[in-house]
Amino acid sequence: MAYAALLSLTQTLEQILHSHDQSRILHEEKQIKSLYEKLSFLLSFLEDSTHKYNETITSLEGRIRDATYKAEDIIESNMSKAASHGVISTWFWKKISLPAFLQCKYKGLKKVIEELDSILKDVEKMNDIEDLQPIMPDGSSKSRSSNNSTMVEFESNSVVEMEGIEDVVEMDRNDLEVLQQRNSLSATSSKFASTNKSTMVGFDDDSLQIKERLIGQSSMLKIISIVGMGGIGKTTLARNVYNDSTIVHYFDIRAWTTVNQEYNVQELLSSLLNSVTDLGRKLYEMEIEELKEKLYKKLQCNRYLIVMDDVWETNAWEEVKRLFPDKNNGSRIILTTRQSNVAVYADSSGPIHRMNFLSLEQSLKLLNKEVFGEECCPSVLEGIGITIAKQCKGLPLAIVVIGGLLNKSEKTRAYWEYVAENVKSAVTRNYDDFVEILSLSYNHLPHHLRACFLYMGVFPEDYVIHVSYLIRLWVAEGFLKPIISKSLEEVAKEYLDDLIDGNLIIVQDRTYSGELKTCSIHDLIRDLVVRKAQEEKFLHVMNQKVEISPEIIKNHRRLSIHGKIQFDVGDMYDSTVRSLLHLAGSILSIDICFQLLRVLDARNITFNKFPIEIVQLVYLRYIALIYNGKRKIPASISKLCNLQTLIVFRRLWRGNVNVKRLWRGNVNVRTLYLPSEILKMPQLRHLLFEQGFLPCPSDAGNGNLQTLTGVIDFRCTEEALGRIPNLKTLGISYRYDSSKKWSIYCLENLVNLHQLETLKCHFVPKSWKTPLFPLAVDLAFPPNLKKLTLSGCRISWKNMSTFGSLPNLEVLKLKDFDFEDNKWKTNEGEFRKLKFLHIGSNNLEFWEVEGTHLPSLQCLSLRRCPDLKCIPSEIGEIPTLQVIALFGCKKSVVTSAYSIQEEQQDLGNDGLQVHHKVFYQIGTTFPKRQILLTHKLCWLQIQKIM
């Protein structure tokens, strides 16, 4: 984690050097500048590094990490002590007195600088050696070219001996082969490929799709990319298709080459030629240009199939793509890779074949095949076998490895139960090659992505991660290098996209606008991530199975707590811990002593009162917590001048009675009162509350604030909105009765929030008998608005036209509202970009629409529309429509939805789905706008589909 450590400390030093009067430069400041320059050089070295990942580089990075951590601890500890003694004011980044700050005498800093000087000398030597390396014809150095790009026979060095090792090889042969020592050039030929055919399990549909694309469709040269994470079976699929008898007879020439991370162009060309010619050792005597010429001539007169297995870089494809002639004869190229960007680069117009995890049924079938061959699994072991298969989470390589272990072991119930309880350790610790296969993806990551990836280890197994949550944590941790033209959140999204493209992070859910909503990480990948993170002193995961000691806590930068653990932090005052995340119910000493803490996520702990101790932690950037007691957040929270994200909820009840009181509008008991100083905090980016009252700012504002949600009765005056001009997400609610004068809230001024993309506005009556609040007729919204949610109000048809005229609106949710009339007629030209429409709990009876009125609609959601007669048949004419979701609607509405679906199926459109949920009989009466908790929970299930 050398890169992340360097990035963090250089950003801290930048703040120090730019936070005082430049006329007061002293000798000591030159020392800080010198340290900054050394760190910046090392940061650039890692960014530009193309060195092979080996023990020398690993050792060097470890030294850089440890020295940087030590320097950061010394500087920040002394700054924290100076701040606590009044040497540095609360706003120390802006009002810092550098001479006083430097007088703190950083003990040990001189020693750290000496270590950095030693590291710099070693870096210079390494660069000199690299410069002296002879350059090969392809432009690479000799030292790097010594790694063969193609492999032959695989010999297992694993502790686990398996007769069926071919199946492990087939799961991702290229990954296993790269681990072996190679001493001579040996090409992977079609002959070699044909000798390793295995029976596939779970890939029948994939195989059929690939063969159809190989033989059918266009006669032009086509590239078929197979993409997926390591061990998911890309090589297995490609090799079985390659050796299929139909494919063998269809193509005149077939060639197979395995590229791998450390490829060499000359060896790559030689391996392809060796597959289709008998030149043998003569290949050693040929120059690159001669090899290219011979390969091109050999291919141009034949219908060929080329498999380039395990391609990691676009450069590898760039080197050879011009050597594949297109004679319009049906030639094909199969490319397997873990990197989605490589597939897109090779052919941006063709579809990518993405490998999916095996289903439980397929996993069990593969496991039984590996353990019992053609025999049946004994009935006494069937249930345990299902448990073992489940824990492999659909990853074929894991199933093959665990199957090989079970094959060579005693087949008793007791032993299988033991394995079932220890599947991950059995896979990752008994078979080193498995670890190495998946580690290849980590080693291939650029330095700026490694910390972000290892950070995924903070989350428990099977944890579905909200992307917005993850991004805020990354920003707070300081993993992101600022880019002038982009916000840190935008940079984080790019990093996340890169990790997804590398098939290291799994997309769980996207919004209908295509944005990432939730993601996750495979359990076996997570297990490796946690181990690597602990080796790097980056992260320590604490649970019931691990004995916690002060030494462990002191030696790690981040702690993630996944169990109900009680530990004493009383002696941890000088701890170097920067992040503390409680992701399971835990018990924490209220005496928070982690003085250098940046991230505190304690939402799984309920404090009896607001923990005032946190205002002393001046480095805090992220706070998420729940507390009881007083409803007012102390004004002293403004001391946290580095704070970027503040999430505060209150937990005041147990049981269903008070939940019902909440839904009836009794919100006073939960209201949180925020100090006016909170918007003056200079770094604040995200404010999230359940119900918080925020006074209008009277003087200073915040240009960094992007998110403000859970605010009650917020007055949207021009002055107030002018102080938060860059707001992107706003969630507000208003309590009303018949005596309210709505003009005081100035909702018409929302149009001035030009950066606003998401708006949620809820109107909460004091009583169910209170008439619905009429939304102002002249209400306007900013043109950049993409998502709009309104509830608890009455809407005029002019309002609907206002919504429809928003040029970028993609999501519209209208909940617990009434139309002024019970008939809605959409108009041509409205809702041009709307993808998701939700209408719930209203008086709508008749709906008229044309198929051209909602041209981009993908999902129509209707929830408890008791008066609606039917869904207009014209809805089915919308070409983009994918889902109609119904909840508690009349039978006639349900019938009309299925009629639309049947009509579309008759027209050849099988993509439209109807989801229908009924939780009470149609005709049952409910108090107007009453929301039953059970209905709300069930509706969340439908939202997962949508």
CA distance 897 to 868: 12
Name which residue leads in pLDDT, 679 or 837: 837
pLDDT band of 574, cuts 50, 70, 90: low
Strand locations in 52-195, DSSP E? Answer: none
Q: Which two tokens stand for residue 752?
A: 């001035």
In this model, does residue 197 exceed pLDDT 50?
A: no
Mean pLDDT of 599-618: 85
Q: How does pLDDT run across 781-835, given as a tens digit for each residue?
A: 999 999 999 998 888 878 888 899 999 999 999 998 888 888 888 888 899 999 9
What confidence score (pLDDT) does residue 194 get? 43
Name which residue leads in pLDDT, 640 or 29: 640
What confidence score (pLDDT) does residue 727 get? 95
Mean pLDDT of 358-385: 92
What confidence score (pLDDT) does residue 331 get? 95
Least confident span in 266-280, 635-649, 671-685: 266-280
> Could you count the other beta carbons within 10 Å of the beta carbon of residue 208?
11
Radius of gyration of the chain (CA): 31
Closest by alpha carbon to 387, among 360, 409, 412?
360
Mean pLDDT of 138-166: 34
Name which residue leads in pLDDT, 556 or 789: 789
CA distance 540 to 459: 11
DSSP string, 780-805: ---TT--EEEEESEEE-HHHHHHHHT
DSSP string, 165-221: HHHHHHHSHHHHHTTS---S-----HHHHHTT----SS-HHHHHHHHHHHHSS-SS-
Find the angle CA(807)-CA(812)-CA(815) to the nearest 5 degrees: 150
Mean pLDDT of 488-515: 91
CA distance 88 to 86: 5
Handedness of CA 814, 818, 822, 823 (dihedral sign): negative
- Residue whose structure tokens are 């070295």: 45
What confidence score (pLDDT) does residue 215 get? 92
3-state helix, strand, coil in the chain (%, to 5): 40, 15, 40
Q: Is 782 left (phi over 0), alpha (psi -120 to 50) or beta?
A: beta
Residue 77 in contact with residue 107, Cβ under 8 Å?
no
Q: How does pLDDT run across 257-279, given as a tens digit for each residue?
A: 999 887 888 888 888 888 888 77
Closest by alpha carbon to 464, among 506, 426, 500, 494?
506
> Across all residues in the chain, what is the average pLDDT?
80
What confidence score (pLDDT) does residue 218 get? 83
What confidence score (pLDDT) does residue 220 get? 92
Residues paired with 759 in a beta bridge: 730, 788
CA distance 857 to 193: 48
Q: How does pLDDT run across 613-626, given as a tens digit for each residue?
A: 888 888 999 999 88
Closest by alpha carbon to 722, among 681, 686, 753?
753
Residue 650 in contact with residue 630, Cβ under 8 Å?
no
Q: Which two tokens stand for residue 884?
A: 């109609």
What confidence score (pLDDT) does residue 572 get? 52
In this model, does residue 455 exceed pLDDT 70?
A: yes
CA distance 832 to 824: 17
Residue 716 in contact with residue 694, Cβ under 8 Å?
no
Mean pLDDT of 441-470: 92
Q: How does pLDDT run across 158-177, given as a tens digit for each residue?
A: 333 333 333 433 444 444 33
Least confident span in 68-82, 374-388, 888-902: 68-82
3-state secondary structure 366-415: HHHHHHHCCCCCCHHHHHHHHHHHHHCCCCHHHHHHHHHHHHCCCCCHHH
Give the rounded percent of residues in the chain with a pLDDT score beyond 70.
Answer: 78
Residue 635 in contact with residue 616, Cβ under 8 Å?
no
CA distance 676 to 699: 10
Find the angle CA(591)-CA(593)-CA(596) to the nearest 5 degrees: 150
CA distance 119 to 1: 16
The gap between the terminal CA atoms of the chain, to the nearest Å, is 39
**What's phi and psi for 148, nearest 5 deg?**
-65, 145
CA distance 751 to 371: 66
CA distance 454 to 560: 12
Most confident of 548-552, 596-600, 665-669: 596-600
Give this prediction's pTM: 0.84
CA distance 705 to 488: 13
Mean pLDDT of 596-609: 86
The H-or-E segment that residue 503 falls in is: none
